[in-house]
Amino acid sequence: MAENIYPIYKQMLGREEKERLLGQHGVMVWFTGLSGSGKSTVALGVERELQKRGLVSQILDGDNIRHGINSDLGFSVEDRRENIRRIAEIGKLFVGNGIITLACFVSPTEEIRRMACDIIGKDDFLEVYVSTSLEECERRDVKGLYAKARRGEVKDFTGISSVFEAPENPALSINTGELTLEESVMAVVNLILNKQ
């Protein structure tokens, strides 16, 4: 199979030309945290704030991705790893085209997040830990998943029956149980602007 693959990377327009056209630098903002911590809500606010500033962004959200490209994956350790690997490869394409990419995935282990960073590239990877407490996430339980997990109806649920390893050294940590949405959004926007 490999002998029949002929990549055309060297003939394609480079990242510099695309970033010059857009007037911005591509970067990956990788939101990690428990389900219900506020990852997607903050990313939606960041997307709108960047748009006001004339910056192009793309949200890659866990539920959206699992509805489409990763609909064949479950929640075992192996499937979670493959989910993140695919997302990182897709994210790398967006970043390489000068897009500010906002990835919202539980990505529960340090090893999985390190793999994503290695694929995308350390210089382009900003890890944002949405450190909202388990108690607050359960209180919100916007999808009803914590209640189901507590009843044993959802297997391998992060924070209940599956481990979540907090990032050791994120670029930014925000707790949406303590900060307002606007404060959380602006903290992330300022992080991004420092890379522009």
Give dist(CA 173, CA 32) in Å, integer.
10
The active-site residue out of 35, 107, 162, 184 is 107
Rounded (10°) angle between helices 39-52 and 181-193: 60
Residue 173's alpha-carbon distances to 75, 80, 85, 129, 185, in angstroms, are 25, 23, 23, 5, 12
Is residue 107 part of the annotated active site? The answer reads: yes
Cα angle: 126, vertex 127, 133; to 5 degrees = 150
Largest CA distance in the chain: 55
Residues whose CB falls within 8 Å of the CB of residue 11, separated by 6 or more in sequence, listed in order: none
Catalytic residues: 107
